[in-house]
């Protein structure tokens, strides 16, 4: 007997009734049929085994069918109960339907087809109730999980907020007072934590500027920016030349970053009052020089990002950028260029250069603010797809 | 108008007397809202534009027999419980239809009022259970979807 085979208990003190009911069910169904010829026997069965449907006679010597079915309800409330009754007892049967919650009554002599149909409907109702109970339980469980996850989500958000505060504190509080230069920057992480980063270090009679973009955003990228800051501060302090600085940073980052993590970066060595900026690039978008006389120069200098390849495989070149009074050097991550318009065009395709050319001749702070505004408008003010960071160096 | 909470029973019999007597029985002794029809076409018209819980139809009618009517009801509102009212002579057909068309039960004429009430009560219970089950399934699916979205939100922070 299978676990899902319906189990039927028939109770009657007349052997003839039992055997004819048994005959009907055995011949026409696959139900498990159990019999009891006294109410006592029936109760002892219900105490130890699951039953789906109980069919009980009304008139029996020790206990009548209604009392029996009432007791069975206590033992197995889900079992569906049917009463078999002679014509004379019909009034009692009908009363019991409402009082004891019987499913149906059957008059003797019964019609086999009607009996089978009633039992079938009874079983299907019991099945529906069971499915409903299962679904209610499933729903409760999902709602509980949802509650737990929401609490976890809130605590993660709080932690991320804290982490974001720490990350912002890693950015330099102010730019150095460097004769002949004025700095400005703009930083918009697309999530709480960002992968874009810049740092600046005063050195001799000048400064070293690092601009970088760690792959990805979120926690991983944020942790890498912290590492980057440490490596930059320590290396730039003792290295006076941009290619050497990038090579040293690459070597050290490659040794510690998990494989696949890397950072694009560019470094700029500035000297007080000098028109010459020494620049080396490790995969960051090329800087632009916005000339005072309203011209745009792009300083093309390819290079492998930091941390991706072993030190002996990578070397960098440097370029001298000449910036005269009124010129502005603008550098940043690829964030602003990756803003997408409704038609799929990207800001970096054409708009970025056009915008910067139009803005040349103005002050660095105004240029990056205005460029950001136009990029957002280009993307219909949709949320940023990536962190955006821009640094402007205005030669004064 | 009618209380939208009370169950809606549609009754179809070409004999006006049958409709009237069942309707008055149910109106007196239950809280069901009963719509009676003597023409199957009118009943179908009603079922097309109103939610119904149980449809009870006579078998032998001049325009359309009860089994065809209830078969069409199944197309329009599959969740409604369908019950056939039949004379003794047509019992064979009724039994066949239970299996073929998925009728809930048949009631023999002349019916006993108590019997009719029990069959209606059980048929209605089945309808309500089915509805509640469907609602729960929808709720479970919705909760599941929301859980997935929340998980995605959390994962995004670490991407």
A185, two tokens: 């920057």
B149, two tokens: 């979205």
Establish whether the linkage from the previous residue to A207 is cis, with ω within 30° of 0: no
| Interchain contact, A128 vs B133, CB within 8 Å | yes
| Interchain contact, B150 vs A160, CB within 8 Å | no
pLDDT recorded at residue A232: 97
Collect all residues of chain B within an 8 Å Cβ-Cβ radius of residue A92.
Answer: none
Backbone angles phi, psi at A232, to 5 degrees: -65, -50
| Interchain contact, B156 vs A149, CB within 8 Å | no
Report the alpha-carbon distance of residue A224 to residue A14 in Å, rounded: 86
- Residue A184 Cα to chain centre, angstroms: 36
* Reported confidence tier of residue B1, pLDDT bands at 50, 70, 90: very low
Where do the structural domains in chain A lie, given as residue ranges?
Answer: 7-134, 171-395
Backbone angles phi, psi at A109, to 5 degrees: -75, 140
pLDDT recorded at residue A1: 46
Query: DSSP assignment, residue A54?
Result: E
Of A374, A369, A332, A335, residue with least CA distance to A351: A374
Query: Is residue B157 less than 8 Å (CB to CB) from chain A?
Result: yes
A114, two tokens: 């009607």
- B129, B141, B151, B156: best mutation site toward chain A, by most A Cβ within 10 Å? B129
- B116, B143, B145: best mutation site toward chain A, by most A Cβ within 10 Å? B143
Rg of the Cα trace of chain B? 20
Backbone angles phi, psi at B65, to 5 degrees: -80, 160
User: Rounded to 5 degrees, what angle do the CA atoms A176, A179, A182 make?
Assistant: 60
Q: Looking at domain B8-127, does it have CATH number 3.20.20.70?
A: no
pLDDT recorded at residue B30: 93
B35-60: average pLDDT: 96
Residue with tokens 């004064």: A396
pLDDT recorded at residue A309: 93
Contact in structure between A233 and A182 (CB atoms under 8 Å): no
Homologous superfamily of the A171-395 domain (CATH): PPM-type phosphatase domain (3.60.40.10)
Q: What is the pLDDT of residues B105-135, one digit of tens each?
A: 999 899 989 889 999 999 999 999 999 999 9
A220, two tokens: 């991983």
B44-50: average pLDDT: 97
Chain B stretch 91-120, residues whose beta carbon is closer than 8 A to a beta carbon of chain A: 91, 95, 98, 104-106, 114, 118
| Interchain contact, A218 vs B159, CB within 8 Å | yes
Q: Are strands A263-271 and A276-282 parallel, antiparallel or unpaired?
A: antiparallel
Collect all residues of chain A within an 8 Å Cβ-Cβ radius of residue B158.
Answer: 218-220
pLDDT recorded at residue B13: 96
Query: Is residue B130 less than 8 Å (CB to CB) from chain A?
Result: yes
| Interchain contact, B156 vs A129, CB within 8 Å | no
Contact in structure between A371 and A379 (CB atoms under 8 Å): no
User: Rounded to 5 degrees, what angle do the CA atoms B44, B45, B48 make?
Assistant: 80
Collect all residues of chain A within an 8 Å Cβ-Cβ radius of residue B157.
Answer: 156-157, 160, 191-193, 218-219
Q: What is the pLDDT of residues A234-290, one digit of tens each?
A: 999 999 999 999 999 999 999 999 888 899 999 999 999 999 999 999 999 999 999
Report the alpha-carbon distance of residue B82 to residue B66 in Å, rounded: 10
Query: DSSP assignment, residue A382?
Result: P
Query: DSSP assignment, residue B47?
Result: H
Backbone angles phi, psi at A94, to 5 degrees: -65, -40
Ranges in chain A, pLDDT < 70:
1-3
Backbone angles phi, psi at A330, to 5 degrees: -115, 130
Report the alpha-carbon distance of residue B82 to residue B101 in Å, rounded: 10
Q: What is the pLDDT of residues B52-102, one digit of tens each?
A: 999 999 999 999 999 999 999 999 999 999 999 998 778 888 888 888 888
Q: Which CATH code for domain A7-134?
A: 3.40.50.2300
Give the other-Cβ count within 10 Å of B73's Cβ: 24
Of A325, A323, A251, A233, residue with least CA distance to A287: A323
Query: Is residue B152 less than 8 Å (CB to CB) from chain A?
Result: no
Give the other-Cβ count within 10 Å of A82's Cβ: 22
Q: What is the pLDDT of residues A55-73, one digit of tens each?
A: 999 999 989 999 999 999 9
Average pLDDT value for chain A: 92
Contact in structure between B124 and B53 (CB atoms under 8 Å): yes
* Reported confidence tier of residue B159, pLDDT bands at 50, 70, 90: low
A92, two tokens: 């009692």
pLDDT recorded at residue A9: 97
Report the alpha-carbon distance of residue B84 to residue B57 in Å, rounded: 5
Query: Is residue A125 less than 8 Å (CB to CB) from chain B?
Result: yes
Report the alpha-carbon distance of residue A185 to residue A192 in Å, rounded: 18
Q: Name which of A132, A149, A217 is nearest B132 (Cβ-Cβ).
A: A132
Report the alpha-carbon distance of residue A332 to residue A265 in Å, rounded: 9
A93, two tokens: 């049967």
**Residue A381 region, left (φ>0) first, then alpha (ψ -120 to 50), else beta?**
left
Contact in structure between A180 and A396 (CB atoms under 8 Å): yes
């Amino acid at each position: 007997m299978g676990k899902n085979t319906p189990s039927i208990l028939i109770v009657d003190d007349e052997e003839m009734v039992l055997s004819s009911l048994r005959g009907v069910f055995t011949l026409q169904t696959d139900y498990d049929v159990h019999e009891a010829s006294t109410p006592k026997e029936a109760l002892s069965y219900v105490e130890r085994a699951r039953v789906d449907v109980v069919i009980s006679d009304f008139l029996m010597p020790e206990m009548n069918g209604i009392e029996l079915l009432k007791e069975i309800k206590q033992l197995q409330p889900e079992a569906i109960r049917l009463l078999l009754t002679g014509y004379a007892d019909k009034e009692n049967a009908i009363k019991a339907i409402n009082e004891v919650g019987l499913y149906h009554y059957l008059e003797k002599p019964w019609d086999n087809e009607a009996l089978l149909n009633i039992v079938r409907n009874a079983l299907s109702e019991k099945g529906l109730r069971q499915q409903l109970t299962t679904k209610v339980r499933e729903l409760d469980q999902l709602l509980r999980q949802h509650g737990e996850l929401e609490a976890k989500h809130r605590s993660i958000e709080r932690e991320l907020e804290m982490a974001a505060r720490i990350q912002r504190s890693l950015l330099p509080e102010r730019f150095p007072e460097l004769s002949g230069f004025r700095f400005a920057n703009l930083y918009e992480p697309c999530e709480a934590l960002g992968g874009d980063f810049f740092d600046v270090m005063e050195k001799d009679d000048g400064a070293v500027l690092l601009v970088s973009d760690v792959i990805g955003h979120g926690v991983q990228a944020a942790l890498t920016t912290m590492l980057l800051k440490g490596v930059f501060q320590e290396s730039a302090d003792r290295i006076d030349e941009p290619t050497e600085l990038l090579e040293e940073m690459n070597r050290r980052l490659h040794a510690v970053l998990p494989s696949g993590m890397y950072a694009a970066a560019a470094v700029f060595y500035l000297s007080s009052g000098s028109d010459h900026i020494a620049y080396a690039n490790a995969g960051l978008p090329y800087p632009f020089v916005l000339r005072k006389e309203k011209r745009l120069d792009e300083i093309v200098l390819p290079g492998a990002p930091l941390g991706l390849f072993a030190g002996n495989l990578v070397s960098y070149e440097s370029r001298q950028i000449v910036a005269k009074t009124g010129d502005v050097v603008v550098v940043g991550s690829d964030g602003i260029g990756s803003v997408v318009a409704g038609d799929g065009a990207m800001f970096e395709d054409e708009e970025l250069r056009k915008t910067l050319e139009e803005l040349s001749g103005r002050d660095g702070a105004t240029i990056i603010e205005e460029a950001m505004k136009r990029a957002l408008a280009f993307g219909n003010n949709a949320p940023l797809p990536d962190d955006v960071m821009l640094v402007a160096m205005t030669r004064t | 108008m009618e209380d939208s909470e009370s169950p809606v029973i549609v009754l179809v019999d070409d004999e006006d007397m049958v409709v009237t007597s069942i309707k008055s029985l149910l109106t007196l002794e239950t809280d069901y809202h009963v719509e009676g029809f003597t023409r199957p076409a009118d009943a179908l018209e009603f079922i097309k534009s109103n939610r119904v819980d149980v449809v009870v139809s006579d078998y032998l009618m001049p325009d359309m027999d009860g089994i065809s009517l209830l078969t069409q009801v199944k197309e329009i509102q599959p969740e409604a419980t369908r019950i056939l009212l039949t004379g003794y002579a047509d019992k064979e057909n009724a039994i066949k239809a239970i299996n073929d068309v998925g009728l809930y039960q048949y009631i023999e004429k002349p019916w006993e009022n108590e019997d009719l009430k029990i069959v209606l009560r059980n048929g209605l219970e089945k309808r309500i259970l089915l509805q509640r089950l469907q609602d729960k399934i929808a709720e479970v699916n919705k909760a599941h979807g929301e859980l997935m979205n929340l998980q995605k939100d959390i994962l995004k922070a670490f991407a």
